[in-house]
Amino acid sequence: MSTRIAETFARCKKENRSAFIPFLMAGDPDRDASLALLNALPDAGADIIELGIPFSDPMADGPVIQQAGLRALKAGMDLKKVLGLAADFRKTHTGVPLVLMGYLNPVYVYGYDAFARDAAQAGVDGIILVDAPPEEAAEIEPLLSQHGIALVRLIAPTSVPERLELLTQGASGYLYYISITGITGAASASPQAIQGKLEQIRAATNLPVCVGFGIKSAADVAAFAPLADGVVVGSALVKYIEETRGDVAIVSAFVRELASGCQK
């Protein structure tokens, strides 16, 4: 597991709070604006940052994140430039874990070995590959591990107990529980509906368990924080960035408000 990720969850646990994990799309609305937002997130309360890899054919992303990815692609963002963005962020932020999130195709085209090496050099701590279940991750998993990059696995509400065992094998960093069935930003999540599932997941792993999808406000964050080791906000933040045209001060205030809900 990435040392930064482990240390972050340990610190949050000691402070009796969940980790706040914002998601933003790399290169949206353009590279410079994206870097400015990325650099502002730690001071605004981000404990871990998920950075989206733009892809032309997403499957789990709702329209808000889809459009952000298309804007980033139109602005010239690709995986190599995403790693460059990560490297620039790491120059001034040495302690905040950075986890990439995207689809397998760009990584496959880049080359698994080259990606693992270059991502590690850029200071990336982990990656979430939305469309790479355990059966499809056997080739890349050891390469990521060799370079100290956590492979963060997604767990769906439909994952049966027998499936949990396979999903947790080879996972590292943390587990990302999808709180709703469907795409990002499409519905609101319910803490009561997922409590039993989180207990089931914790019985199968010692990894931190984070919750995302359908969490849109500081009140939502506060509702989920007592149940999870980390709370992820994606579509709501990406939409806010679009609406404010990436105004760093305004977005930072929104992130600060979201992060305030993480105290247990």
163-205 confidence digits (pLDDT tens)? 888 888 878 999 999 987 554 545 566 788 888 889 999 998 9
Q: Is the dihedral of CA 236, 239, 241, 244 positive or negative?
A: negative
Taking the model in full, what pTM does it have? 0.95
Extents of the domains making up the chain: 3-151+230-262
When pLDDT is cut at 50, 70 and 90, the band that residue 157 belongs to is confident
Query: How much is the mean pLDDT over the chain?
Result: 93
pLDDT tens-place string over residues 251-263: 999 999 999 999 8
Catalytic residue set:
50, 61
* E strands present in 59-174: 98-102, 126-129, 150-151, 153-155
Provide the CATH topology of domain 3-151+230-262. Answer: TIM Barrel (3.20.20)
**Mind listing the pLDDT tens digit for each residue in 101-114?**
999 999 999 999 99
Contact between 258 and 218 (Cβ < 8 Å) = yes
Rounded distance between C-alpha atoms, residue 152 and residue 145, angstroms: 11
